[in-house]
Each structure stands twice: as C-alpha cells, then as structure tokens.
Amino acid sequence: MAQNSGLTIVFIGSSEKEELLEKIKSTAVQCERHITYHDTYYLTYIVDGSEANVELIDSGVEHTGARQMSIRKAHGVILFYRASSQTSVNQLYDVALDFQIIENKIKVYQN
C-alpha cells in the first residue's frame, strides 16, 4: 500500500486507546503495519465503490519529535485518558505543548 494516505489520524494517550484502535483496524478491508514504524498502520476501506486509505498512528504518551511530526501531518487527533485516574490525565499535559509549538509554526486560518 502506498504510504500516502487519504486521511491521517493520530491516537495519543493511555492504554484505553487499544480497544478502539483494534476495532478500527478490524473493520478495514486491508490493514498493513508499517515495516519500520510499528506504531503506524495503513488501512483500506471501500467507500461508495472506491478505495479510501487511512493512516493510523499510535504515538503513545512520550514527548518525541516523531509525535510532533505525526500531529503536524494529521487530519485529526484522538486523545485518550481515564477520567478516574489523575495520572492518566497528567500524561496528556505535555501534549498541549506539542500543539502550541505546532500552532506557532503554522498559519492558522480562522473564519
């Protein structure tokens, strides 16, 4: 499968994301794991008779350059945390910094 996908979605946060990630992967017509980046999956769906490609990136909770890059190229980001766990919520704290860094480097269009 081509590495350029139609839609890129990044999953960030605690282990609660695994169940949804597995469910999404199971609904695809085809699911391939990136040969080098084991946290990246390429999914193929058939939508209105045409192929639609989705790239899913499970970037974890560690602050890395790879996570910043995945957020920058993403069409959407899904944040996962356990509301009953302060530790889980705290893990997302530095994610806000990634978004601030990106916002300062790109032009934001507002209506």
Q: List, for residues 16-50, the tens digit of each pLDDT value.
A: 788 888 999 999 999 999 998 888 999 999 999 99
The closest of 16, 63, 73 to 40, measured between CA atoms, is 73
User: Do residues 11 and 56 lie in contact, with contact meaning Cβ atoms separated by under 8 Å?
Assistant: yes
| Stated pTM of the model | 0.74
11-105 CATH pick, 3.40.50.300, 3.90.79.10, 3.40.50.1370, 3.40.640.10: 3.40.50.300
Q: List, for residues 56-87, the tens digit of each pLDDT value.
A: 998 866 667 777 788 888 888 888 888 898 88
Listed by start position, the domains of the chain span 11-105
What distances in angstroms separate CA 35 from CA 23, 39, 43, 105, one per listed residue? 21, 10, 14, 30
